[in-house]
Amino acid sequence: MIPVLRRVLAPAALALLLAGPSAGATLLLTGTPGAGILLDGRPLGALPLEALELAPGTHTLSATMRGMLPLDVEVRIDEQDAVVRQHLRLQPMSRRDAVAYSLVLAGLGQRYEGRPVLGWALTAAEVGGLLTALAGELAVQNHRDDYELAMANYRDALLPGDIAFYHAQADEAWTAADDAGKLRDTAAAVAVGAVVISVLDAWLRFPSLEAGAGPAPAPPPEFATGAGAASATGFHVGWSLRW
C-alpha cells in the first residue's frame, strides 16, 4: 500500500515544488474612465477594470484615449500578496500645441495627435521639398554662372563658328537655369503646402473628447478604499480651454 501511495504522491509533490509560490500582488487601477489599458503590451480593456493579479517583477502599463496624451507607467511588484494601487490620469491634448508643432515641422502635430502615418508623410513632403528646393537653387546659380561665361566668350568671339558655338552654349545654360528655377519653385511650394496642410489638419481634425453616460471619474489612489470598493456610475463630461 505504501509503495502505491508513494507512486501517486511523488509526482504531485514534484509538481507543487516546480510550480513555486502561488499568486502575486493585487493591482488596483484607477484613472480616466474609458481609457484603454495595455499590460506589458497585452490589452486589458477600458477603465474601470477589476482588480488584477500580477506576478512579482516590473510591469508596463499603457493608457490611451482619443483626445488625450498617451501615458506609460512602470509598476514594480516586490512582494507577493501585496495590494498595489496605481492611478492613470490622462491629460487632454492641446489644439494650440498641435498647431504649434505643425508650424515648426509639418507632421509633428499629426504625430502628437496619434496619427503617425499622415504625420511622417507630411514631414517627408516638407523635408523633401526643402532639400529639393535647395538643390534647385544651387543648380540655378551654377547654370547662371555657365551662362555668364558663355556670353562673355560669345562677345569676345571673332570666328563665325565660335560665335555660333558660344551662342548655343549660352542658350543651353539659360534653359537649364530656367528649368532648375521651376523645379526649385515647385519644391518650395510643396514644402510650404505640407506645412499649411499640417496646420489646417491639426486644427480641423483635432481629436475631441467624448461625453456621455458611463462610469464617473475614478478617485485617486489615496481615496480608494480597497479591492472591494464599488465604482459609481453617472454622466461625465470632459472639456479643455483652447484658443
Q: Is the peptide bond before 220 cis (omega within 30 degrees of 0)?
A: no
Give the pLDDT confidence of 48-103 residue by residue, as tens digits: 888 888 888 888 888 888 888 888 888 888 877 778 888 888 888 889 999 999 99
Judged against a pLDDT cut of 60, whether residue 243 lies above it is answered with: no
* Residues facing 62 on adjacent strands: 38, 72
For residue 101, the tally of other CB atoms under 10 A from its CB is 22
How far apart CA 137 and CA 143 sit, in angstroms, is 10
**β-pairing, 52-54 with 25-31?**
antiparallel
Q: Where are the domains of the chain?
A: 10-92+209-236, 96-204
Average pLDDT, integer, range 157-178: 92
CB 54 within 8 A of CB 29: no
Residue 222: strand, helix, or coil: helix
Average pLDDT, integer, range 10-38: 66
pLDDT at 93: 86
How far apart CA 176 and CA 138 sit, in angstroms, is 12
Give the pLDDT confidence of 58-68 residue by residue, as tens digits: 888 888 888 88
Give the pLDDT confidence of 205-225 residue by residue, as tens digits: 998 655 444 444 444 444 444
Give the position of cell 461625453.
Answer: 211
CATH topology classification for 10-92+209-236: Immunoglobulin-like (2.60.40)
Cell numbers placing 95 = 489644439
Asked which of 58-72, 116-130, 187-201 is least confident by mean pLDDT, the reply is 58-72
Average pLDDT, integer, range 8-13: 48
Q: 164 versus 209: which is more confidently predicted?
A: 164
